[in-house]
Structures are given as structure tokens and as C-alpha cells.
């Protein structure tokens, strides 16, 4: 049996399923408050600035507390370009993170009682001393590089500082290889810059928005959704390419119900029409583009008729939508998407999107992509970082265009083998529930089993905590200072996060935990402050403001300094690519042995009786982090399985019926899911919202609710260019009988 057996049942008491007053209910179902409500709240309560941590859009907000120090409401900051004064349902429900009675309450240390692994409560002193001793032992024996950090969100920044001080940059996060890495690599290879977050898409002024598997609206990124709704009101054409009738598709002029995994073929056909019919921006392409002739020649055979056979989209529709884009150009956006790790050729799919934008002249144009700008937050002084001998770069060296750590490669490096040159021996996991966010559970468990030590810093007893040797309870974003949010937008802005209330239970902020560990590990001089507040005060002053001012305004906007928002007429602009041009043909990719222009490759299809497992988001949840949040759980308790009526007829399924899923590798879902029969999904796939089906009983609301899609993602198609893990090539069969009837889960 495995040493690091997942601890399912805690020795500690379980909290009751109390229904706290839902902040959302308080103001009705509409999360967007009217001015009157805002004013009333503002009069009655004390307000403290923060920025939201329920997802990574980081909307600036005000936390309102009453005289007893209870949080009553969180409302968007009117001056914030990420939210324009209105939070999404999750942001409003962020108070549930604070109120959740299942929260981690004290440090926990793994122990054995009667041969069973369990956790015991520990003091901070004991837990920190233990971690420091174990980390020191790994550092002394193998080098600091063998300490890996898997992180996401604000806490990660503090531990990154600790790691760099120790001399390790063995750091990775799922937001790269499991999310937007391929998009960044593809756009970087074309335009020379990352898309980043928020995307510099000028949606509010666009005339045509093309969404390719990007379900804005269900995938709730606040200002982007608001801008899209304004664009629709202003008559913009929305074209959505999605095998499923998403909310965005339902608001679109054209819904292209594409056969999954064939998007590159559609985009090549669009290029074909745009070039053949002269719909591209000739002047722009001539002035800024490189390799247009090669592209023209290359796409000449990819006609809409050719693409029809692959995508199932009618040639007339491919032509009509290409003309819509051409007519709107340059105020057109082929949206780069966000979670793009689908089929392993994701960098090339992103390249196809980038090339279309280049042809239509939308980069640097009103209604297309603007030139983003941010303001640098000055670095609080500390000694120079120690240089590691190896780190995330070397671990991911097989993938030439990887620009950040690849989680799955760090995980592989944690399994000893004779050819493993970069042995990882201990992990600190902060703010990421890797058992739900990283595919291939077998590999992950094998790695965790080999580790000499594993620490998890989280606010909740998520599944990942069950594998840790030590669990540290972080306080929520509403109870702490964090780094200043410097936003990249049309205009630069900063936002302050400060505690609205004291940390509940025995929880502590990450900055404090990192400092404590730093002091114990001999790098205390990198943490030359008693309170993170001092760092913020120092930085704000350097930026021409103060903590006092920021407490009052929460967000400060700065004028642009770099250049104009869009390209000027006749502007001589050098793109930050190697050639200084938009690279329709990529010499760099060619030299590295990859296709210089995107190629359509057929991907495996579901075998008889199996359906492609498609997944996405719901507007009231973020990944797995919100499933147990009392307010958000109230809005949606579990995911359901979208099944086409044709499939329902064949199997004999009815809406509301519970089923189990088994994938191509015979992995069966631990829990069941409710069927929803709907025309909105194609007959060759099924669909569910990601982030449900929690295994940890300590999550009293989320445990066993719905299916965990990641459990069924055992096969990944790795992107050879940047190491992303394509996860949409998994197929499931639908089981109507409980496969676990005779086994205890």
C-alpha cells in the first residue's frame, strides 16, 4: 500500500451543514446590484478595499463589515477596469469562503493511529519546525532545486519569494500547462507578445467577436462579459464555434456546431476564403506581415468544401462567417480563449487564431486588440536571489517554447529513475487543488508516493490536503494583506487588498507562513519586515500614493505612458517578434522542427458506445475551489451530464436519472451524475461542468456531489511545442447501474 495514502476521514470533528445567510439571496438573485442598494450598504457599514480571489480576474471590491466585525457584503469598486463596479455571482459569494465552517482551522500533521493514516492537530511552531527540518534535510542532501513549489493565485507569490531566496525555481502552476500556456506560445510566435490576463481584447468596441470554444458568460470573466453584453447591444455580430450550444452560442448570430477536435480545419478554410476573396487588410498585411505569400499558397487547397468533410460545417456557412469577419475588419476579434489545453496541437490552434487576427488587421486596432499597459510595482529591497543549478526550464527542456514551469514535468521529475537528471524530492502545494486540476491521477499519485515530504497550504480541506504530510491553514483573502494588484488594461491601475476582518480560527496569511519558514531556513534577511503592511506602505509611497489614500479609494488609475492604445495611421511599428513583423510563417517553429504554419491533424474519435468527454464552466463556480462555498453551493450543488436526445434514446436515459461514467482506460467515476437530456450538445459528446465530485468527506456540502471530470482524464495529448496537456481526447461510456454496488467507496 502507498505510504502517502489519501486520508479521507478526519480525526477532527465535522462541521454541520449550516446555511449561512447567502449574500446573493440578501439582494435577490441578480448579482449586479442597483445603485440604491449600493448606497444603503455604503451608509450602514465600514468598508475595506480588496481584490477578489474567487477567480483570477482579480476584480477590485469593497468588503462591508458591521460593528460586530461581521462581513455583510462584497461590492465591486466603481473605478476598477476589471469589474466596472459590479461583481459576478462568485465575487459576491466570496464571503462564503470566509464563512465556510468546513475551513481548515489549525495546522495538521500526518500520523498513524492503529495502523491507519490520519491527521492530528498541531501548533504553528511544531508544524513550521517540522517543515523547516524536512526542507533543510532535502536541501542539504540534494540541493535547494529539489524543493518544488506547485502554486496558483496570490499565496503562490509569497512562496515563490521564499523558494528563490532558498535557490530554487522549480516552480509550476496549472494555469500554464493545463490552461493558457499554448495560447501564449501561439500568439507569442505570431505577434511577439503574450495575451496575458486580462486579455487585451477591445470587446466593447468590436463589430465582430468570434469565440472558438470560449464560452464567455458561463466562463465568467467579469469586465469581458460586461463588454460582450454592451457589444451585443451595439449590434456586434457574435460567431460562436462550439460543439455545444453554450450561452454565448445562444446569443450569437452564427452558431457553428463543429465536430470536436477539428477547429484548425475550420480556421484554415476561413483563411482560404479571406485570402481568395480579398477580405484581408492588404495594407496592414503588407506593412506588418511576414510570410503572407507562403500562407496564401499553403491555404489555397483548404477550401470550405474540404473543411466541410472534417468539421461538418456547411461550406456556405464557412464563407458567410468569413465575410462577416472581413466586413467588420479591423474591428474584429478572433478571441484567443483561455483554457486551451485540448488536443495536444493547441499552440498550432492558437497560431491559427493569431494568423486570422493578423490577416484581418485586428492587432493594435480599435475593436480588435489594444496595446495593453501596466505599472510596475517596485520590488521591496532584499538580498539577491541565489542562482539555482537547474529548475523549471531544465525540467521542461524538451518543450522549446515553454515559458513557464510545466506541472506534469515537475511531477514526472519527482519519480526517481536512472535518467532523471533533475530529482524533485519535496513539494509545497499552495492554492492549487492538484488532484482536480492536473490530469493523469496515476502519475500524480505515483509521484506523491515517492516524495520525501509534502506540504499543502490551503484554506479548505480540499482533496489534495489528504496526501500531505503537513497541512497549513491559510486565512482567506478577506482576512489578509497580499501583494498589490497591478493590472494590465487600457490604462494601468493598481488595487489594494487588506484585511476586512481578523483571521478566523488559527489560520494565517501566506506572507507570514513564508517568512516563518524563511527565518527557520536561514533566509530571514529576505523578509525584512514584521508585517506585510510595511512592504505595501513602502511600495505605495514609491508609486506616488499611500496606504491611507488607497484605503479610501481601493483602486488607483494611472494615465498611459507607453504609446497610443491603437496603431496610428501609417505608423511604422516593429512587432516584438524576431523579424519585427507579424509572422504568418514562423521561421522559429520551422527551425525547431515544427510546422511553420498550422496543420490540421485528425485526432482519435470515440469508439462505438463511447462519447467524447467535454467539460466547461458554470458562472457561479471556479474550478474546484467554490464547490463547498455555502453561498455558491446554494446556487449550484453539483454538475449534470448533458446528453443528446439521440443518445438518451439509444441508452434509454431520462433527465434526472443518475448514471456513472467509465472511460477508455476503464477508469470508473467514483460518484454518479444526473442526466440532462438536451439538444444543446452534439450526439458524439457529453458535457459537464468541471470541478465537482469531491472525494474529501470533510467538505460537507461538496463531498460526493457530481462527477470529477479530471478523474476520467487519464489520457493526455502533450503539446510538443510547450508541454501543455491536451485533455479533451478522453471518451466515456454511460453506465446506468451502480458499478460500486458491492464495494465501499
Q: Which of 430, 495, 536, 716 binds ligand MGD (CB under 6 A)?
A: 430
Candidates 4-12, 431-439, 635-643, 729-737; binding stretch for ligand MGD (CB under 6 A): 431-439
- Choose from ligand SF4, ligand MGD, none: what does 459 bind? Cβ within 5-8 Å by kind: ligand MGD
What is the 3-class SS of 552-611, one letter each residue? HHCEEECCCCCCCCCCCCCCCCCCCCCCCCEECCCHHHHHCCCCCCCCCCCCCCCCCCCE
Residue at grid coordinates 444526473: 674
Which residues, listed in sequence order, are joined to residue 643 by a DSSP beta bridge?
677
Contact 354, 188 (CB under 8 A): no
Residue in 358, 440, 397, 399 with CA at minimum distance from that of residue 187:
358
**Residues recorded for the chain:** 745
Nearest to 518 by CA among 354, 405, 624, 386: 386
Q: Is 625 in the site for ligand MGD (CB under 6 A)?
A: yes
Q: Which one of the spans 351-359, 378-386, 456-464, 540-548 is the region binding ligand MGD (CB under 6 A)?
A: 456-464
By CB under 6 A, how many residues form the interface with ligand MGD?
33
Binding segment for ligand MGD (CB under 6 A), chosen from 8-16, 452-460, 602-610, 677-685, is 452-460
Should residue 214 be labelled a site residue for ligand MGD when binding is judged by CB under 6 A?
no
Residues facing residue 50 across a β-bridge: 61
Q: What is the four-CA torsion angle of 181, 187, 190, 192, rounded to 10 degrees?
A: -90
Taken in order 372, 373, 377, 383, the sign of the CA dihedral is: positive
Contact status: 433 vs ligand MGD (CB under 6 A): yes
Which position among 168, 226, 622, 629 is part of the footprint of ligand MGD (CB under 6 A)?
A: 622
Decide: helix, strand or coil at residue 239: strand
Of the pair 181, 217, the CB lying nearest ligand SF4 is at 217
* Best CA proximity match to 138, nearest among 459, 414, 430, 383: 414
- Identify which of residues 629 and 730 has a Cβ nearer to ligand SF4 in the complex: 629
Q: Measure Cα distances from 34 to 38, 61, 76, 363, 424 in Å.
A: 7, 15, 12, 36, 52
Residue holding cell 505595501?
Answer: 536
- Residue 591 C-beta: closest distance to ligand MGD, Å: 30
CA distance 310 to 639: 31
Q: Which does 221 bind (CB under 5 to 8 A by kind): ligand SF4, ligand MGD, none?
A: ligand SF4
Q: Does 459 contact ligand MGD by CB under 6 A? A: yes
152 binds, among ligand SF4, ligand MGD, none (CB under 5 to 8 A by kind): ligand MGD
CA gap 326, 277 in Å, rounded? 9
Q: Please give the residues from 708 up to 727 whose contact with ligand MGD meets the rule CB under 6 A.
A: 709-710, 713, 727
The site string for ligand MGD over 69-108 (x = CB under 6 A, - otherwise) reads ----------------------------------------
End-to-end CA distance of the chain: 17
Least distance (Å) from ligand MGD to the CB of residue 623? 3
What part of residues 666-705 is at the interface with ligand MGD (CB under 6 A)? 690
Decide whether 154 or 535 has the Cβ nearer to ligand SF4: 154
Tell me the residue nearest to ligand SF4 as measured from the CB. 91
Residue-by-residue DSSP string for 654-689:
-TT-EEEEEETT--B-SS-EEEEE-TTB-TTEEEEE
Distance CA 587, CA 54 (A): 41
Q: Could you say whether residue 152 binds ligand MGD (CB under 6 A)?
A: yes
C-beta of 411: minimal distance to ligand SF4 in Å?
27
Binds 339, which of ligand SF4, ligand MGD, none (CB < 5 to 8 A, cut-off by type)? ligand MGD
**Binder of residue 351, out of ligand MGD, ligand SF4, none (CB less than 5 to 8 A by kind):** none
C-beta closer to ligand SF4: residue 221 or 497: 221
Least distance from ligand SF4 to the Cβ atom of residue 481, Å = 18
Tell me whether residue 261 or residue 310 sits nearer to ligand MGD (CB atom).
261
Residue range at the interface with ligand MGD (CB under 6 A); choices 119-127, 412-420, 426-434, 578-586:
426-434
Tell me which of ligand MGD, ligand SF4, none is bound by residue 625, counting a contact when its beta carbon lies within the kind-specific cut-off of 5 to 8 angstroms. Answer: ligand MGD
> If DSSP states are collapsed to H, E and C, what string results for 189-227?
HHHCCCCCCCCCECHHHCCEEEEECCCECCECCHHHHHH
Give which of 59, 9, 396 is closest to 222, Cα–Cα: 59
**Cα 675 to Cα 688: distance, rounded to the nearest angstrom:** 10
CB 456 to ligand MGD: min, Å: 8
Q: CA 76 from chain center: how many Å?
A: 21
What is the footprint of ligand MGD within residues 323-342 (CB under 6 A)?
A: 339
Q: Which residues bind ligand SF4 (CB under 6 A)?
A: 52, 54-55, 57-59, 83, 87-88, 90-91, 220-222
Q: Contact positions toward ligand MGD, by CB under 6 A?
A: 53, 152-153, 155, 174-175, 178-179, 339, 430-433, 436-437, 457-460, 462, 474, 476-477, 615, 622-625, 690, 709-710, 713, 727
Amino acid at each position: 500500500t502507498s505510504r502517502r495514502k489519501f486520508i479521507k476521514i478526519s480525526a477532527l470533528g465535522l462541521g454541520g451543514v449550516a446555511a449561512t445567510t447567502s449574500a446573493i439571496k440578501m439582494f435577490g438573485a441578480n448579482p449586479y446590484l442597483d445603485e440604491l442598494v449600493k448606497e444603503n450598504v455604503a451608509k450602514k457599514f465600514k468598508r475595506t478595499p480588496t481584490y477578489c480571489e474567487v477567480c483570477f480576474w482579480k476584480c477590485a471590491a469593497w468588503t462591508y463589515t458591521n460593528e460586530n466585525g461581521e462581513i455583510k457584503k462584497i461590492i465591486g469598486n466603481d473605478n476598477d477596469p476589471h469589474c466596472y463596479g459590479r461583481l459576478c455571482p462568485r465575487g459576491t459569494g466570496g464571503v462564503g469562503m470566509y464563512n465556510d465552517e468546513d475551513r481548515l482551522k489549525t495546522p495538521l500533521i500526518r500520523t498513524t493511529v492503529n495502523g491507519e493514516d490520519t491527521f492530528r492537530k498541531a501548533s504553528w511552531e511544531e508544524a513550521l519546525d517540522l517543515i523547516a527540518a524536512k526542507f533543510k534535510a532535502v536541501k542539504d542532501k540534494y540541493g535547494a532545486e529539489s524543493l518544488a513549489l506547485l502554486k496558483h493565485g496570490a499565496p503562490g507569490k509569497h512562496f515563490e519569494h521564499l523558494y528563490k531566496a532558498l535557490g530554487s525555481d522549480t516552480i509550476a502552476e496549472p494555469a500554464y500547462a493545463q490552461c493558457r500556456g499554448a495560447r501564449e506560445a501561439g500568439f507569442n510566435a505570431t505577434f511577439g507578445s503574450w495575451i496575458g490576463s486580462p486579455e487585451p481584447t477591445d470587446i466593447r468596441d468590436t463589430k465582430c467577436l468570434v469565440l472558438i470554444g470560449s464560452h464567455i458568460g458561463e466562463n465568467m470573466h467579469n469586465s469581458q462579459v460586461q463588454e460582450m453584453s454592451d457589444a451585443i447591444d451595439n449590434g456586434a455580430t457574435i460567431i460562436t464555434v462550439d460543439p455545444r450550444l453554450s450561452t454565448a452560442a445562444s446569443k450569437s448570430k452564427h452558431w457553428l456546431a463543429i465536430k470536436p477536435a477539428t477547429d484548425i480545419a475550420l480556421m484554415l478554410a476561413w483563411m482560404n476564403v479571406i485570402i481568395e476573396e480579398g477580405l484581408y487588410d492588404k495594407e496592414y498585411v503588407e506593412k506588418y506581415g511576414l510570410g503572407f505569400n507562403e500562407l496564401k499558397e499553403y491555404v489555397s487547397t483548404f477550401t470550405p468544401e474540404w473543411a466541410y468533410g472534417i468539421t461538418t460545417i456547411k461550406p456556405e456557412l464557412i464563407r458567410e462567417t468569413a465575410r462577416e469577419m472581413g466586413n467588420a475588419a479591423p474591428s474584429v476579434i478572433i478571441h484567443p480563449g483561455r483554457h486551451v489545453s485540448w488536443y495536444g496541437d493547441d499552440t498550432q490552434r492558437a497560431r491559427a487564431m493569431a494568423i486570422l487576427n493578423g490577416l484581418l488587421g485586428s492587432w493594435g486596432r480599435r475593436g480588435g486588440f489594444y496595446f495593453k499597459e501596466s505599472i510596475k510595482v517596485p520590488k521591496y529591497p532584499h538580498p539577491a536571489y541565489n542562482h539555482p543549478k537547474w529548475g523549471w526550464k531544465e525540467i521542461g527542456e524538451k518543450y522549446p517554447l515553454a515559458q513557464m514551469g510545466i506541472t506534469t514535468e515537475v511531477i514526472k521529475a519527482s519519480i526517481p529513475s536512472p535518467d532523471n537528471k533533475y530529482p524533485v524530492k519535496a513539494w509545497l502545494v499552495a492554492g492549487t487543488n492538484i488532484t482536480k486540476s492536473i490530469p493523469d491521477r496515476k502519475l500524480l499519485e505515483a509521484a506523491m508516493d515517492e516524495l520525501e515530504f509534502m506540504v499543502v497550504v490551503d484554506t479548505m480541506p480540499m482533496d489534495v490536503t489528504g496526501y500531505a504530510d503537513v497541512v497549513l491553514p491559510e486565512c482567506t483573502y478577506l482576512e489578509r494583506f497580499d501583494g498589490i494588484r497591478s493590472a494590465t488594461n487600457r490604462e494601468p491601475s493598481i488595487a489594494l487588498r487588506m484585511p476586512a476582518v481578523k483571521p478566523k480560527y488559527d489560520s494565517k496569511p501566506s506572507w507570514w507562513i513564508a517568512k516563518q519558514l524563511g527565518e527557520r531556513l536561514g533566509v530571514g534577511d529576505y523578509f525584512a519586515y514584521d508585517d506585510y503592511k510595511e512592504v505595501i506602505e513602502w511600495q505605495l509611497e514609491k508609486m506616488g500614493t499611500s496606504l491611507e489614500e488607497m484605503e479610501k479609494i481601493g483602486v488607483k488609475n494611472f494615465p498611459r505612458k507607453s504609446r497610443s492604445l491603437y496603431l496610428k495611421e501609417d505608423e511604422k511599428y516593429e512587432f516584438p517578434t524576431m523579424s519585427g513583423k507579424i509572422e504568418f510563417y514562423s521561421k522559429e517553429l520551422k527551425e525547431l522542427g515544427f510546422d511553420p504554419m498550422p496543420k490540421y491533424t485528425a485526432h482519435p474519435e470515440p469508439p462505438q458506445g463511447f462519447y467524447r468527454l467535454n467539460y466547461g464552466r458554470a458562472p457561479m463556480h471556479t474550478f474546484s475551489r467554490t464547490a463547498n462555498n455555502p453561498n455558491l453551493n446554494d446556487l449550484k450543488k453539483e454538475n449534470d451530464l448533458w446528453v443528446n436526445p439521440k443518445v438518451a434514446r439509444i441508452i434509454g436515459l431520462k433527465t434526472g436519472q443518475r448514471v456513472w461514467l467509465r472511460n477508455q482506460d476503464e477508469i470508473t467515476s467514483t460518484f454518479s451524475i444526473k442526466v440532462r437530456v438536451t439538444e444543446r450538445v452534439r450526439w458524439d459528446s457529453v458535457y459537464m461542468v468541471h470541478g465537482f465530485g469531491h472525494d474529501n468527506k470533510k467538505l460537507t456540502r461538496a463531498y460526493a456531489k457530481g462527477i470529477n471530470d479530471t478523474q476520467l482524464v487519464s489520457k493526455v495529448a502533450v503539446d510538443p511545442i510547450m508541454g501543455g496537456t491536451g485533455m479533451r481526447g478522453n471518451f466515456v461510456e454511460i453506465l446506468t447501474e451502480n458499478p460500486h454496488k458491492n464495494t465501499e467507496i
